[in-house]
Structure 1
Amino acid sequence: MTRLQRLVRIAWVFCKYRLDIFLPMAELPAPLKLFFLFAPWHLFPKGSLDRGDRLRLALEELGPVFVKFGQILSTRRDLLPDDMAESLRRLQDNVPPFASATARQIIEDSLGRPVTELFAEFSRDPLASASVAQVHAATMPNGRKVVVKVIRPGIDRVIRQDLALMFMMARLLERYWSEGRRLHPVEVVEDYQTTIYDELDLQREAANASQLRRNFNNSPLIYIPAIDWDHTTKRVLVMERISGIPIADIESLRAAGVDLKVLAEKGVEIFFTQVFRDSFFHADMHPGNIFVDASNPADPRYIAIDFGIVGTLAPDDLSYLARNLLAFFRRDYRQVAELHIQSGWVPPETRVNEFEAAIRTVCEPIFERPLKDISFGHFLLRLFQTARRFNMEVQPQLVLLQKTLLNVEGLGRQLYPELDLWSTAQPYLENWMRKRIGPSGLLRTLQTRLPSWLEQSPEMPQLVHDTLVQLRNAGAPDRGDRQAAITAELAQRHADRRWRLTLGALSLAALAWLGAEEKLVPLAQNMPHYGWALLALAGWLVLKPGRK
């Protein structure tokens, strides 16, 4: 299908489901208003469906790329009203499978050998078929059970065409819609573009799975299947085949005697461990991707699959997020408002008192209810809606986190309706903050950054001197001003001395803490030779005489 044919198809679906209700008619230029007044969609009846269901049906009819976009958009409660977001959550990614012969041909082209040599058995019918890939069961020559994931043929071209059209629509929204500049529709499509292209690279998905498996090696919380790297390429992924109960099959879990309360609480613990311990989390934890190992019903374990979408957070974002959540737990709305401003999530000119009052208005009615009756996800949505009134811009780095949190809470409440996510989360966050700002956190920071500081320290005085000379030359018309040169030289000496004293103080503080914790002797025994060399260099920097 050419791009023009695809555009005509989209226009037809747009008219059929009367999506003109989403156009900002009042803000359009006069010629466009006149055009839309006689547009062909007026020939179609509006019907009885609400706007959310109409949008959902239109996306399903437009195909897998639009379905995937709608699924991601459903998590952007900062962009959509609740009714539309709820409708989009029901989008189904049920795509007819492509031919088994085609899958075999892709495997043979990618791995360079016939399927009959690669596998002792290869299932004709796929286990699952989605918008980007489909999965077949197979058995390796050594008897190991695996699954083979194969990228859908021709999907690259379809994605490129649909993304080009999405970008065109996003630019029009950004230009003609008053909310467009704040909500950044072009950036939303760019985020989706990154996500969908990442899912097309199965080597990236395999690397994500490998990282998660290492993070949770021998963990009682979750099991990550092993990757067969010898048979994995960009278009084919071979992974250990797992067996478990689908987490959405509550009846089977009950029949197996699974402790649903423990299972729900473990889901919350997995989420916070991935986010705050590893800053690397599975960001597509919907029920179709999660199974349960019920071999020990009293201590069940999660099994995850499909690692095409993962999320990461920078240390600053993690810190602000944890402090925000703890401030909410303590109902310290002033700190919440200040943290939003400090982090840059709302404009710096925001009036703290007004923002604090708005947050209190949202939160107090919610917190008067028992914590177990409070939906963490819906609470965040109300907060985002409030922050939107204060021009809070979209935070792309938090989008996947919001999506994952909503999925985790939804799963937890489905398993155990009495789940109190708040009481589960608060101790974890408080412990994480203690470790981050306590002695152990300071030691980790020193261990991580000290080599870099030592490497840069000899250059620091010269850099300070060069900067001061440049400032002097920029501000003084007489380049031969002797007084300015003397001032720069004194500033250099002072900076040199302060740098050495600061470094020495940090080193002594670390050594003192190690001694107090009785960790100095084991550290000394295990410290490599270069560690002692670095320590000696630090001492020389601290004790060497200054310039004369």
Structure 2
Amino acid sequence: MTRLQRFFRIAWVFSKYRLDEFLPVAELPAPLRLLLILAPWHWFPVGNRPRGERLRLALEELGPIFVKFGQILSTRRDLLPDDMALALQQLQDRVPPFPGREAQAIVEQSLGQSVSQLFQTFDSNPMASASVAQVHAATLHSGQSVVVKVIRPGIERVIHQDIALMRMLARLIERAWADGRRLRPVEVVADYEQTIYDELDMQREAANASQLRRNFDGSTLIYIPEVFWDYTTAKVLVLERVGGIPVADTEALNNAGVNMKVLAEKGVEIFFTQVFRDSFFHADMHPGNIFVDASNPQDPRYIAIDFGIVGTLAPEDQSYLARNLLAFFRRNYRQVAELHIQSGWVPAHTRVNEFEAAIRTVCEPIFERPLKEISFGHFLLRLFQTARRFEMEVQPQLVLLQKTLLNVEGLGRQLYPDLDLWSTAQPFLESWMRQRIGPPGMIKSLREHLPSWLEQSPEMPQLVHDALLRVRDLDRTASTDHATLKALQDAERARRRSFRRTVLALACLGGAWLTTQPLGWTSLESIPTQGWILIAAAGWLLVGRR
């Protein structure tokens, strides 16, 4: 299936399940409103299916990237109505499976032996089926119970097509929308592309699991299953089978007598420990990947699975994030504004007093209130509006962290709505900052960097001399660079205009094509009026304006 065919496929599924009901038509620009009015999906009956079910079925039909999006949405009860959130929860472990014989063939091909040679038992019926892989129960010849995770056949091709469409849409947003460049959508898509392709490599997931297991060895916070490396390849992963109560099953947790307050606080502690102590965090913490060991109900322990997506932070990002959060907790909005300017997230010409006042307006309402009374979704939306005023740029390296924080909030809200996120997180951050900037942190940093500094010290005089020569040459090249830059800017503006016209023309042709599908028109004479209007608009965009 080509990229254009995939585009039409997405448009067809959009129409089939009448997802136009979710669009804020009144808020769209006039050309898009006209296109939506002429679109052919009005001929599709809505039927008796609830809207949540229609959205879930559409995401399942569109494939893994869209399923991942639905998984994230399912944790956001403050942003979605209950019926839609409940429907999207089924995406977490109820994605339609592929045949067990195909999974068995992949295992045998990857490991070079038959299933009977590899395992004492192997259940061809999957335990669970997710967006990019499915899981089968098995037993090793040693008697160890394990789970076998197998990549879906052909999934790489589908993901490649979807990523290509996302990249095209990101470029369109960046070029056609005034705020597009500030949001850096192309970089965000590139970051997500790397993440999703990493998730297709079972050996990478196994390495992630081993690292997390080592980080929390002997911990009472969370348990990570053991990896069996002799049975693991790029397409097959074998892990220790562990049992627990799904974290989404609050009724079972309550029946087991689990201390929900302790459980929720441990979730917050796990998040901050992974981010700040280890700089290595599980970035796919939706409820389908988290279980609870309730053997000690008053001191419960989390069990994590599915380690395909992990995130890391550079030391400077860690420090910046911690200082910002501490400043937020202490309501030091002046420091928050200054940190944003120092880091380059907002332009240097930003007036600190105005930015400080805007941040105060957003943050003050959320403090000293239990989690159940705080909508972080609406809070983030208000921060986004503030960011637009001050030209703040999106930071792609923190996208996974933001997604994980939303998942943690969703879990906290579900387990213990009265959780005080601020009082739980603040002591941890203060302790981490003391260790980082105090004597232990300074000694550790000196020990790590001293050999490199000593190695580079003989080259420092020459580097300083070269830098001074470059500064002297800047004035000589300034006038030439200015003329070249102006020519490049003119060419870029012309290219953007051409790109926008081409994309809009393709959209019109796609809409015209869709009008011919429901009733099976096959001749030019039978093309409906809406189709001719869209074809004429495409011709005007491609030829008339030029």
Whether 1:407 aligns to 2:407 is yes
In the TM superposition, what are the counterparts of 1:168-183 in structure 2 within 5 Å?
A: 168-183=168-183
- What is residue 359 of structure 2 aligned with on the other side? 359
Residue identity in the other structure for 1:195: T
Residue identity in the other structure for 2:29: A
In the TM superposition, what are the counterparts of 1:201-216 in structure 2 within 5 Å?
A: 201-216=201-216
**Alpha-carbon distance, 1:281 to partner:** 0.4
Helix, strand or coil for the counterpart of 2:319?
helix
Residue identity in the other structure for 1:154: G
37 and 171 in structure 1: CA distance in 2 versus 1, 3 angstrom threshold: farther
In the TM superposition, what are the counterparts of 1:282-361 in structure 2 within 5 Å?
A: 282-361=282-361
Structure 1's unaligned 5+ residue stretches are 477-548
Comparing 237-246 with 369-378, greater Cα deviation is found at 369-378
- What is residue 421 of structure 2 aligned with on the other side? 421
**Alpha-carbon distance, 1:367 to partner:** 2.7
**Aligned with 2:29 (options 26, 30, 35):** 26
How far apart are the structure 2 equivalents of 1:41 and 1:474? 59
1:461-506 Cα distance to aligned partner (Å, 9 max, x none): 3433455567679999xxxxxxxxxxxxxxxxxxxxxxxxxxxxxx
Counterpart contact for 1:291–1:302, Cα < 8 Å: yes
Counterpart contact for 2:370–2:419, Cα < 8 Å: no
- What is residue 239 of structure 1 aligned with on the other side? 239
Equivalenced residue count is 470
1:319-344 Cα distance to aligned partner (Å, 9 max, x none): 11111111111111111111112122
How far apart are the structure 2 equivalents of 1:51 and 1:173? 28
1:27-61 Cα distance to aligned partner (Å, 9 max, x none): 76xxx888776443454579999999986664344
- What is residue 217 of structure 2 aligned with on the other side? 217
12 and 84 in structure 1: CA distance in 2 versus 1, 3 angstrom threshold: farther
Helix, strand or coil for the counterpart of 1:316?
helix
- What is residue 126 of structure 2 aligned with on the other side? 126
90 and 443 in structure 1: CA distance in 2 versus 1, 3 angstrom threshold: farther
- What is residue 529 of structure 1 aligned with on the other side? none
Comparing 453-462 with 209-218, greater Cα deviation is found at 453-462
248 and 173 in structure 1: CA distance in 2 versus 1, 3 angstrom threshold: same
Counterpart contact for 1:376–1:421, Cα < 8 Å: no
- What is residue 439 of structure 1 aligned with on the other side? 439
How far apart are the structure 1 equivalents of 2:47 and 2:334? 47
How far apart are the structure 1 equivalents of 2:466 and 2:193? 44
Across the aligned residues of Structure 1 and Structure 2, the Cα RMSD in angstroms comes to: 3.4
265 and 75 in structure 1: CA distance in 2 versus 1, 3 angstrom threshold: closer
- What is residue 543 of structure 2 aligned with on the other side? none
Counterpart contact for 2:100–2:124, Cα < 8 Å: yes
How far apart are the structure 2 equivalents of 1:409 and 1:71? 14
Comparing 285-294 with 384-393, greater Cα deviation is found at 384-393
Counterpart contact for 1:74–1:86, Cα < 8 Å: no
Comparing 331-340 with 248-257, greater Cα deviation is found at 248-257
- What is residue 156 of structure 1 aligned with on the other side? 156
Residue identity in the other structure for 2:241: R
Helix, strand or coil for the counterpart of 1:98?
coil
How far apart are the structure 2 equivalents of 1:188 and 1:53? 29
TM-score (norm 1): 0.77
**Alpha-carbon distance, 1:72 to partner:** 5.2
**Alpha-carbon distance, 1:186 to partner:** 3.0
TM-score (norm 2): 0.77
**Alpha-carbon distance, 1:198 to partner:** 1.2
1:485-530 Cα distance to aligned partner (Å, 9 max, x none): xxxxxxxxxxxxxxxxxxxxxxxxxxxxxxxxxxxxxxxxxxxxxx
Counterpart contact for 2:279–2:312, Cα < 8 Å: yes
How far apart are the structure 2 equivalents of 1:156 and 1:383? 36
Counterpart contact for 2:170–2:189, Cα < 8 Å: yes
Residue identity in the other structure for 2:306: D
**Alpha-carbon distance, 1:376 to partner:** 5.8
Whether 1:110 aligns to 2:126 is no
Counterpart contact for 2:369–2:420, Cα < 8 Å: no
Counterpart contact for 1:74–1:85, Cα < 8 Å: no
**Alpha-carbon distance, 1:383 to partner:** 2.8
Whether 1:264 aligns to 2:256 is no
How far apart are the structure 2 equivalents of 1:215 and 1:189? 30
Counterpart contact for 1:107–1:115, Cα < 8 Å: yes
173 and 465 in structure 1: CA distance in 2 versus 1, 3 angstrom threshold: closer
Counterpart contact for 2:127–2:135, Cα < 8 Å: yes
- What is residue 503 of structure 1 aligned with on the other side? none
Residue identity in the other structure for 1:10: I
**Alpha-carbon distance, 1:287 to partner:** 1.2
In the TM superposition, what are the counterparts of 1:45-64 in structure 2 within 5 Å?
A: 58-64=58-64
Residue identity in the other structure for 1:158: V
Residue identity in the other structure for 2:383: L
Counterpart contact for 1:282–1:309, Cα < 8 Å: yes
Helix, strand or coil for the counterpart of 1:124?
coil
97 and 469 in structure 1: CA distance in 2 versus 1, 3 angstrom threshold: closer
**Alpha-carbon distance, 1:373 to partner:** 4.7
How far apart are the structure 2 equivalents of 1:374 and 1:282? 24
372 and 6 in structure 1: CA distance in 2 versus 1, 3 angstrom threshold: closer
How far apart are the structure 1 equivalents of 2:375 and 2:74? 17
- What is residue 135 of structure 1 aligned with on the other side? 135
How far apart are the structure 2 equivalents of 1:453 and 1:283? 34
Counterpart contact for 2:322–2:433, Cα < 8 Å: yes
How far apart are the structure 1 equivalents of 2:127 and 2:351? 55
Residue identity in the other structure for 1:436: R
Residue identity in the other structure for 1:289: N
1:208-258 Cα distance to aligned partner (Å, 9 max, x none): 111111111111111111111111110000111111111122222222222
Helix, strand or coil for the counterpart of 2:135?
strand
Helix, strand or coil for the counterpart of 1:299?
coil
**Alpha-carbon distance, 1:125 to partner:** 0.9
- What is residue 9 of structure 1 aligned with on the other side? 9
How far apart are the structure 1 equivalents of 2:369 and 2:51? 32
Comparing 98-107 with 460-469, greater Cα deviation is found at 460-469
Residue identity in the other structure for 2:266: K
Residue identity in the other structure for 1:292: V
Counterpart contact for 2:282–2:311, Cα < 8 Å: yes
Structure 2's unaligned 5+ residue stretches are 477-546
1:444-467 Cα distance to aligned partner (Å, 9 max, x none): 111100111111223323433455
Counterpart contact for 1:51–1:84, Cα < 8 Å: no
Comparing 251-260 with 106-115, greater Cα deviation is found at 251-260
**Alpha-carbon distance, 1:439 to partner:** 0.6
How far apart are the structure 1 equivalents of 2:449 and 2:86? 44
1:143-194 Cα distance to aligned partner (Å, 9 max, x none): 1111100000111111122222333333333333334333333333323322
How far apart are the structure 2 equivalents of 1:435 and 1:7? 52
**Alpha-carbon distance, 1:260 to partner:** 1.9
333 and 54 in structure 1: CA distance in 2 versus 1, 3 angstrom threshold: farther
423 and 49 in structure 1: CA distance in 2 versus 1, 3 angstrom threshold: farther
Counterpart contact for 2:53–2:87, Cα < 8 Å: no
Higher relative contact order (CA 8 A, sep 6+): 2
Counterpart contact for 1:52–1:83, Cα < 8 Å: no
How far apart are the structure 2 equivalents of 1:222 and 1:366? 29
**Alpha-carbon distance, 1:437 to partner:** 0.8
**Alpha-carbon distance, 1:18 to partner:** 5.5
In the TM superposition, what are the counterparts of 1:64-103 in structure 2 within 5 Å?
A: 64-71=64-71, 82=79, 91=88, 92-93=90-91, 94-103=94-103
How far apart are the structure 1 equivalents of 2:137 and 2:128? 10
Counterpart contact for 1:203–1:237, Cα < 8 Å: yes
75 and 392 in structure 1: CA distance in 2 versus 1, 3 angstrom threshold: farther
Residue identity in the other structure for 1:186: V
